[in-house]
A = this chain, B = another copy of it.
Amino acid sequence: MIVILKPHPSDDEVRNIEERVRDLGYEPHTIRGEVRTVVAAVGDETTHQSLETLLSIPVVDRVMPVQQKYKLISRETHPDDFVVNVGGIPVGGEVFQVIAGPCAVESQQQVLEVAEHVKGQGACLMRGGAFKPRTSPYDFQGLGEPALEMMARARDAFGLPVVTEVVRESDVELVARYADMLQIGARNALNYSLLEAVADTGKPVLLKRGMASTVNEWLLAAEYIVKRGNRNVVLCERGIRTFETATRNMLDIGAVAIAKKETCLPVVVDPSHAAGRVDLVEPLAKAAIAAGADGLLVEVHPCPEKATSDQAQQLDFDGFTSFMEHIKPYIDLAGKKFGPINR
């Protein structure tokens, strides 16, 4: 940590800071400049307490961390990619996966139709919402457990492992009974107690970035899960909130590249929620692949105009067929194998 003092501190003030730095387990090195004085505090910031306590001392102007706080997921520690096994399907490493399905599960028939179609086009995992967090309490909130049963039947029929969101700690066990991968949605991206509950199931976790989360907060949320002993985390970039309203969220393609570079975790992208409109799903998906993503999470519905949610951004079957055809060359070019290795 670097502690920057206000201009022209007295000797006593500097000695006081040095003592406190020592008390917190670091070794102080003071450098006096013409105007400013800085105290460099040497020590491992990931194991010692933060020096931010010094901020309350009037002579301290700023405290700047030098190290990143995450370490279990850091590429510095783990140079090799983690590959997460989701119901027998590898995510990360050399393969590229498409996780497809409806925003919300609406009926058994809907799920079966979607599963059959997306599998036919090369998706190896199925998504579908059983519990939907909605901005308004008057909007459709998902079918709940029956939806989980429907997806489980579709998995049995078509061999597609199920990815679904859990929004409630008390539902974690229930959802984990049916699902192969538990999704943490953007609204719960910093809901650490849900992250821990999900981590403790040992199941793979799809961790979406929050609408206002920095890359650093997103990666530290992943660290929360891995710290519980569950390394099966897949990061999902789905766009953040900015002043721009032309897209539903702003896909942060740089965050995809950074997450790949700084961590060993697989990174997938959700172009459907970023775009918020069907016609942009494909360009955003291609951009994600080109930037290094390990997979995509795409909304597909047999008849989007009759969907109970996210009508504007779900692809229909023809749209998905064409989408898959168009993105495949980009997957090849990025040097990834499409689908499960052993196909």
Q: Which residues of A contact B (CB under 8 A)?
A: 2, 4, 7, 20, 29, 31-36, 38, 40, 42-44, 46-47, 49-50, 52-57, 64, 66-67, 69-70, 76, 133-140, 167-171, 187-188, 190-194, 210-212, 214-217, 220, 223-224, 227, 240-247, 250-258, 261, 274-275, 277-280, 283-284, 286-292, 304-308, 311-312, 314, 316, 329-330, 333
The distance in angstroms between the C-alpha atoms of A133 and B53, with both chains bound, is 17
How far in angstroms is the closest Cβ of chain B from A324?
A: 15
Bound-state Cα–Cα, A264 to B216, Å: 36
- For A136, A312, A330, the residue with the greatest tally of chain B CB atoms inside 10 Å of its CB is A136
**Interchain CB contact under 8 A, A169 and B170:** yes
Chain B residue with the shortest CB-CB distance to A250 = B252
Check if A258 sits within 8 Å of B280, measured CB to CB: yes
Contact B244 A215 (CB under 8 A): yes
Stoichiometry, copies per complex: 4
Contact between chains at B167 and A193 (CB < 8 Å): yes
What residues of B have a CB within 8 angstroms of the CB of A50 in the complex?
A: 139
Q: Which residues of B contact A304 (CB under 8 A)?
A: 56
Residues of B within 8 A of A167 (CB): 191-193
Residues A254 and B278 in contact, CB atoms below 8 Å apart:
no
Contact status B284-A257, CB under 8 Å: yes
Q: Are A275 and B254 in contact (CB under 8 A)?
A: yes
A53: which of B187, B283, B307 is its contact (CB, 8 Å)?
B307
Contact residue among B49, B138, B277 (Cβ-Cβ distance under 8 Å from A69): B138
Shortest Cβ distance from A207 into chain B, in angstroms? 14
Given A43-B33, A44-B34, residue A314 in contact with residue B56 (CB < 8 A): yes
